[in-house]
Structure 1
């Protein structure tokens, strides 16, 4: 699908520059969600009628990140999907992570008993991996700054020293192409660049890692046969990554499926080129050097107040204004922000 045609499927008010906070749904996702809510209100559909959305979403996600669909688990939040990984770490495990990374990729290891976490500058992450490292964790795109971690360099360093790799691609998946299969686990919250409602999250879990994990949160949706998993015992879990699924928030997934399918139809490379071009229009308009990210941060006196006066919605992270651009963003959005920030 051409980008110009795709953009007609969104209805943003001018000035939304905060997809790193949450993404805006394409019209098909919003309309399917409204239809599901109407069905719920009057009892028009049986619960299993919404389950197809989970299958569609899982399939679309696997396609986007280049992994087998059987290696994808679904849940509600990235930290929840990382919990079984953290629970499997023995005391004495040594973890290396970036300083200032997002809490969801850090807190599970900090909470794990007896696990040692060493935080290093993000640009030194690959060089900090050594023979004493058991696990490397990081966000592929840093939430606070938009910096893109050198994924291949970190993975290469980890493999050279026998360390596992866990990646949070929440701020990347949907605009930045990457190969999830290089890592042992990759988690993504769907409500940002994948433009799903909050309550949708995905995890790629490599088969060799899954062998070490216990599905403590297993319920019916982790069963080998959903139709035969209502009651027990005995235990009869799926042999795939589905054994780590939790019961889905149906309505969130109803909207997730068409949103992810649309991202795949447009193409992540095409979205990346569009997003980065707008981000660089913003940066160069402020006299800053161009970057390779769809998330940028700037220091401008009174920036938050100036943007708010003209209706631009951006975020403040780590004391700086953070602007983020996606498929529905336009040059007019950028220029609106630039006019506000350069009007002295």
Structure 2
């Protein structure tokens, strides 16, 4: 599907520049969710049909992050929950290196291991590659930083980590859905699905490399992590899936019903076209404010009274680290950018 054709699947109010906070659902996702809610309201159907959206989403996500095997993808609820078994499996006394501006979903799980002697070193994002050394056991970072949209040097970080035998844990929440990347290079790629992949909050996905899974214990395992979930309702013995599904948690059905069509649409349009569109709009804002263009769909600007100016113009953006953060996606338009520029330059 061409991007301009896909844009007809949204009718947002002008001025939504905040996908980095939450994405807007395309019409197929919204319709699927409304249908499921209507069925739930009157008890028209059983839940199994809603549950099929999980594996549909799992397969689409696997393709979206570079074509990893779907059986290496776990379905959860939040990034921190998906990273928790990785953190718990770190040997006592391990060292984790993290950017100093890292969103805490990819920081607190490591810090929570302090009582076992796990140490977390925070360094500037630009110095992350050089900070990886022989004492590093795991490197954790966001592919795109939430605070300012900065892109991590993914390939270089992975190469430095491999050179020193360190694991790599990536939070791709602010990247997946607009930025093409090879998720299979990392050991873990976790994504909260309510931002750039435009699902309802309550669903998250993670690639877990097979060699890493061997080290992990599925402490949150329930019936849905079973080899056959429908034969795992009652009683012993423990009978978990052999692949990444053993780290699944029981799904919040409606989150997945709304997510699956959005993921399919992203694949249909293609990430290269989405990236080109999103970054072009971000750069239109930057150049309009006299700033150099960048490579991210998320930008931050420092303009006196910027938040108040944008609010008066009906532009919805965010404030992070004291700066206005604007973020652009498929449904964003030139008119949205110009509305923000008029507010910030008038």
**What TM bracket, shorter-length normalisation?**
over 0.9
What does residue 86 of structure 2 align with?
85
Write the distance in 1 (CA, Å) between the matches of 2:134 and 2:22. Answer: 39
Q: Are 1:274 and 2:277 an aligned pair?
A: yes
Write the distance in 1 (CA, Å) between the matches of 2:180 and 2:215. Answer: 28
What does residue 4 of structure 2 align with?
4
Choose which of 225, 239, 250 in structure 2 pairs with 1:236: 239
Write the distance in 1 (CA, Å) between the matches of 2:289 and 2:256. Answer: 39
Write the distance in 2 (CA, Å) between the matches of 1:45 and 1:214. Answer: 35
What does residue 30 of structure 1 align with?
30
> In structure 2, the residue corresponding to 1:216 is in which secondary structure?
coil
The offset of 1:14, in angstroms, is 0.2
What does residue 13 of structure 1 align with?
13
Deviations 1:200-236 (A, max 9, x none): 1001000000000000000011000122011120011
What does residue 104 of structure 1 align with?
105
Choose which of 175, 180, 183 in structure 2 pairs with 1:180: 183
What does residue 49 of structure 1 align with?
49
Which runs of at least 4 in structure 1 moved beyond 2 Å after TM superposition? Answer: none
Write the distance in 2 (CA, Å) between the matches of 1:232 and 1:300. Answer: 61
Runs of 5+ consecutive residues of structure 2 not aligned to the other structure: none
Deviations 1:254-284 (A, max 9, x none): 0000000000100011000000000000000
What does residue 220 of structure 1 align with?
223
The offset of 1:91, in angstroms, is 1.5
Q: Are 1:295 and 2:309 an aligned pair?
A: no
Please give the residue correspondences for 1:143-154 in structure 2 after superposition, counting only pairs within 5 Å: 143-154=146-157
> In structure 1, the residue corresponding to 2:191 is in which secondary structure?
strand
> In structure 2, the residue corresponding to 1:8 is in which secondary structure?
helix
- Single out whichever of 41-50 and 134-143 deviates more from structure 2: 41-50
What does residue 310 of structure 1 align with?
313
- How many residue pairs are counted as aligned between the two chains? 343
TM-score (norm 1): 0.99
Write the distance in 2 (CA, Å) between the matches of 1:51 and 1:250. Answer: 6
The offset of 1:89, in angstroms, is 1.1
Write the distance in 2 (CA, Å) between the matches of 1:269 and 1:251. Answer: 29
CA RMSD of aligned residues (A): 0.5
The offset of 1:60, in angstroms, is 0.4
Write the distance in 1 (CA, Å) between the matches of 2:130 and 2:34. Answer: 49
What does residue 260 of structure 1 align with?
263
Deviations 1:5-34 (A, max 9, x none): 000001110000000000000011001100
> In structure 2, the residue corresponding to 1:289 is in which secondary structure?
coil
Write the distance in 2 (CA, Å) between the matches of 1:231 and 1:10. Answer: 44
The offset of 1:100, in angstroms, is 1.4
Write the distance in 1 (CA, Å) between the matches of 2:98 and 2:118. Answer: 13
Deviations 1:171-226 (A, max 9, x none): 00000000000000010000000000000100100000000000000001100012
